[in-house]
Amino acid sequence: MMILVLLLHAVCSLFLVGALSHQAAATWRRAPATGRPAGVVAGFAAVRAPLYARAIAISYVLTMVLGDVVYGPYRVDVKTMLFDLQLWPWNGVFEIKEHLVALGFFLLGPYLVLWRLPLDPVQARSRRLLTTALAAIVWYALVSGHLLNNLKGVGF
Amino acid sequence: MEHTTSPLGRWTLAALVAGTAYVLAYSQDVTLFFYYPMVGEWHWLPQSEALGPRITYYGWKAIGLLAGGVTLLLPRRWTDHLPTDTVWVGALLLATVVCVHESHWFLK
């Protein structure tokens, strides 16, 4: 059962990292795209970013809650092993992950306000940098979670 | 620096208060409740080590949520003129505090 939750957690985080990366890239686009994007990079950023916001917020909460469920067995099995083997940097990697994810969760309120239509041009810089910060948090969480799972998976 | 009269100020302040409360709670090891995953029990106070390792993380997040929720009750005129950049500057500051606070794991 816990492996299923872990897999769901991973799938949700993949969706989240994809959506947030597209949205963050769109905020760095120089001018609104007209017609077909010229290349892969332009196409990656040429999304209707405001439409992503609510799905991203829901996905973020869902991914975090699934992570919270997995955290119980992680605390018993994996964290204990990290301490027993004195793998302190790996524990640090996870500690940073859990704290950044919590901070990102608290930032979802202003994030949703910033993406409310019609978009306020005065808030463009805050929208860009907050979305990018959230994307960075989610990327860090995904990569660190994957590496830690390689070290010792929950439920195995 | 631009100012805003949208709900952004209120939500920004709530997010940053929640984040600050969370960081203070975890750095001072203060939590609302404890969860013991080996026995599946929740407790308001720390229990015997016989119950196995405890989780304080959920309690820290609850503290953050409560602090943020209370901040949302503040009169809107108090937060209407918060600079819009406050949200990402505050987020970066809190993330930096977390990384500095956790750096000791990499220095052992």
The predicted structure's pLDDT at residue A31: 63
pLDDT tens profile A96-117:
999 999 999 999 999 999 999 8
Arithmetic mean of pLDDT, B80-92: 94
Q: Buried (b) or exposed (e) across A91-124, using 16+ Cβ within 10 A?
A: bbbbbbbbbbbbbbbbbbbbbebbbeeeebeebe
Q: What is the pLDDT of residue B5?
A: 57
Contact B87 A73 (CB under 8 A): no
List chain B residues with CB under 8 Å of A72.
Answer: 35, 37, 55
Say which residue the tokens 């010229």 belong to: A38
- Condensed to tens digits (0 to 9), the pLDDT of residues A49-85 reads 778 899 999 999 999 999 999 999 999 989 999 999 9
Interface contact A110-B98, CB threshold 8 A: no
% of chain B with per-residue pLDDT over 90: 85
Of the candidates A89, A103, A113, the beta carbon closest to that of B19 is on A103
Type of residue numbered A4: L
Average pLDDT score, chain B: 93
Distance CA(B57)–CA(B26), nearest Å, equals 8
Q: Residue B14: is its pLDDT beyond 70?
A: yes
Inter-chain CB proximity B38 and A130 less than 8 Å: no
Rounded-to-integer distance, Cα A59 and Cα A105, Å:
11
Residue A135 CA to residue B16 CA, distance in Å, equals 18
